[in-house]
Amino acid sequence: MKKVLAVFAALSSFYSVNAMAMCGCMLPPRPPPSMRVANSKLTNKSSKVIIVHDGDRTVVTMANDFDGDAKSFGIVIPVPSAITKEQIHVGEKTMVETLAQATAPQLLEYPAIDPCMRMAPSVAMDRAGSGKMESAAPGAVGGARGPGHTLQVTVEGTYTVGEYDIQILTAENAGDLITWLKQHDYQIPDGAEPVFASYLRQNMHFFLAKVNLKQQASRGYTFLRPIQIAYESPKFMLPIRLGMLNAEEKDGAEQELSVWTITKKGRVESTNYRTVKMPVSQGMLPEYVKNDFEGVYRAAFKNLERREGNDVVFYEYAGYGSTGPIGSANTDPETLRKLGVWWADGTSPAFITRLHFTYDKAHFPEDLVLQETSDSAQTQPVFSVQDDPKSASCMSKQQLHDYLNPGHAQQAQALASLTGWDADDIMRQIDKGPSAKPEETPANKTPDGKDRSWYQNLWK
């Protein structure tokens, strides 16, 4: 009996991250955890922008995850000056994926500990997928013919770069600009005129891109590659106001954005909105989290947004981009150079900050202004799961279940505080076994996340 209790005491201590055998028994060394990073399913709902900035120089990369007909693709973005052809480049999709993987949240999976003190076989490393990225590009396109008259719009440049037809525009007034855009098959939502007008009065120009179908076919691409622009401007900012017009069209849906900034010194944050660090869970999470780590992470993100308010920017990663597990994506100088890091020769460091937020007009009235701090502390959300032993030679199934229960309760609490899900629901999921799927809408919540009332639960 004493021996069993001693074993129990020792092994229950394994349910904390810093596992130490406290009982003084001779126990086998704990096998190291396997690690994987969140795959690209994590960011498939958000638009992706990469900004490389130092001094007055900036390189912006827009990853177009447009999944529809290439004919209907079009983007319009404000730029601080007229852009020449040499300042435009079409990059590779893989470089964006590499960056996303190198800065993704990590999941550590601790192998199961046999409660009967035999070494558990180590769990094979989990797959790190790279799924298809599917978010909509900012700025939809459709047909809209305007009246014909002399429009005070100056086309400052017309180029074909890669598979894109690019034009740089400026205008005397926003009305003419919008008419011109509509005449050229750009679908401009209502309410855009004041936004365009305010950019024009700040002496901004407009960068337009559409797909040149012939070029695309001749190059053999079926997806759209990222567009990159290099320019000089003291402004370090992210113009989001145009993007919000699209959001309003979709019945108030929010726009979601993942921004990577690459700078020389340290972490980047917003100066006109609160920037908050994504927290790491304080304890072990249930094993079934590994079945949908990306889904759980997104739930955690949404929960944090609810708690902190919808007018907050979150940073999910700060570091040098090569802290992933061995064999995963790492940002080598060549990838960095492709992303626009002009100093990537291995001597000056390239500090990467990954920001993530959802925005709408009500909570984000202004364009995001960014600043680089000298904070070079590295941070990355890391979550841990503890695998359960599937069976135990010295215990019955029921005994094993009871033995694991206190640990499960702790894990359920950790997951509940992270995601806002109900701890009892989580316990029920845990009891279903390790192949359970993390639920986004647990049984006692309605699909929009509200608690079900007592009478709804009565007759469900």
Q: Give the binding site for other proteins (CB under 8 A).
A: 194, 197-198, 201-202, 233-237, 265-266, 269-277, 309, 311-312, 365-366, 369, 371, 373-377
d(CA 408, CA 12): 11
Distances (CA, A) of 5 to 10, 16, 120: 8, 18, 20
Cβ 368 to other proteins shortest distance, Å: 10
- 166 vs 355, which CB is nearer to other proteins? 355
- 269 vs 287, which CB is nearer to other proteins? 269
- 126 vs 193, which CB is nearer to other proteins? 193
Cβ 363 to other proteins shortest distance, Å: 10
- 112 vs 245, which CB is nearer to other proteins? 245
3-state SS record for 2-64: HHHHHHHHHHHHHHCCCCCCCCCCCCCCCCCCEEEECCHHHHCCCEEEEEEEECCEEEEEEEC
- 66 vs 364, which CB is nearer to other proteins? 364
Cβ 202 to other proteins shortest distance, Å: 6
Cβ 258 to other proteins shortest distance, Å: 19
- 308 vs 402, which CB is nearer to other proteins? 308
Cβ 276 to other proteins shortest distance, Å: 6
Beta bridge partners of 359: 255
d(CA 133, CA 64): 9
Assigned token pair, 324? 């992933």
Cβ 43 to other proteins shortest distance, Å: 24
- 1 vs 377, which CB is nearer to other proteins? 377
Cβ 17 to other proteins shortest distance, Å: 21
- 229 vs 237, which CB is nearer to other proteins? 237
How many residues are present in the chain?
460
**Residue 130: which of 106, 90, 92, 100 has the closest Cα?**
100
Cβ 241 to other proteins shortest distance, Å: 9
Assigned token pair, 261? 């900034």
End-to-end CA distance of the chain: give it in Å, rounded.
46
Cβ 281 to other proteins shortest distance, Å: 16
For residue 205, give the amino acid letter. Answer: H
d(CA 270, CA 171): 30
**Residue 411: which of 390, 430, 389, 439 has the closest Cα?**
430
Cβ–Cβ under 8 Å, residues 16 and 411: no
- 291 vs 323, which CB is nearer to other proteins? 323
Which residues touch 91 (CB under 8 Å, ≥6 apart)?
61, 225, 226, 227, 228, 338, 339
For residue 439, give the amino acid letter. Answer: E
d(CA 125, CA 35): 7
